[in-house]
Amino acid sequence: MTIGFAHAELIAVLTAVTAGEPRVMTIRSGQALPSGPFEMGHRTLQSGLREWVQEQTAHPVGYLEQLYTFADRDRNNDIQGGRTISISYLGLVREQAGAGRPGWHGWYDYLPWEDRRNGIAPVLNELIDGLAAWADSEPARRVERKRRAAFAFGLDDISWNEDLVLQRYELLYEARLVAEAGGDVNFGRAMFADHRRILATGIARLRAKIKYRPVVFELMPDAFTLLQLQRSVEALAGLTLHKQNFRRLIEQQDLVEETGQTEAETGGRPAKLFRYRHAVLEERELAGSKLPLSRN
């Protein structure tokens, strides 16, 4: 048996939606996610993470949930002869100007193929070529590799599934189409070690969760228009939604209420302002709340 030691690391995927764009808080000039070791003085894992986020970014953190524990033996880490176990959390925050030193960057800077709000991302054609070359490089596995690529990226009449964020990234890693895999080709902005994989995991969790829990309201201002709410959901899903279907389902679930105020939207017409109905939180935790992802 090989003798070594393990080091526990806390890491945060902190997400905000600002001006209709999903963003992630980073450190090291956008190269890493906020993180730090779990220390003896930390009361809990979550409190330890909050301390590191405060120290590294000075940005307040509200909603947090545990995401995943990454402990693969072949993970990149800074420990000689040791092993890093990363306990990751997904956090939802509202970006605050001048709140400290956070380095906010767009989700789709790192994973550009995930944004389909304006149709298929331009980078996808290059990705398809790269995946085809990878599949052809091993004839015995060509069919299986092409099938996996089609399933992950919605090719060959297979529908795009916005929740498969991690599967897409891991397939690109296997095909050495991201810098973290050590190849010469890279799509999207690279990150330290496997932080981009952890980001992909956080995005996948949030995309799935907004379909059955009203967590999107953690990202919204206290008052918002229905269009702003729709744009925020679209930003997270990477898809455009049918406006009338979206509003109908919001109304049916009684998730929001009017504030009695208005705000000028594009074109100068006043739009009603709404707020989240916190009174429905407990019943929705039991019954579930859905936000519509019906496509245009």
What string of DSSP letters covers 65-110? Answer: EEEEEE--TT---S-TTEEEEEEEEEEE----TTSSS-EEEEHHHH
- Those residues whose C-beta lies under 8 Å from the C-beta of residue 209, and which sit 6 or more positions away, are 215
Of 45, 74, 107, the one marking the end of a domain is 107
Tell whether 26 and 92 lie within a shared domain. yes
Residue 41 within any structural domain of the chain: yes
Residue 292 within any structural domain of the chain: no
- pTM greater than 0.75: yes
For the chain, give the percent of residues with pLDDT over 70.
86
Residue 154 within any structural domain of the chain: yes
Residue 200 within any structural domain of the chain: no
Tell whether 234 and 281 lie within a shared domain. yes
CATH number for 278? 1.10.10.10
Residue 80 within any structural domain of the chain: yes
Separation of alpha carbons 223 and 50, rounded Å: 27
Separation of alpha carbons 196 and 107, rounded Å: 10
The pLDDT-based confidence of 200 (bands split at 50, 70, 90) is: very high
Arithmetic mean of pLDDT, 73-79: 57
3-state secondary structure of 41: coil
Of 107, 122, 151, the one marking the end of a domain is 107
For the chain, give the percent of residues with pLDDT over 90.
62
CATH number for 69? 3.90.79.10
- The pLDDT assigned to 163 comes to 97
Count structural domains, the chain.
3
Tell whether 13 and 81 lie within a shared domain. yes
Separation of alpha carbons 111 and 152, rounded Å: 14
Tell whether 102 and 174 lie within a shared domain. no
Arithmetic mean of pLDDT, 140-146: 97
Domain with 237 in it: 210-287
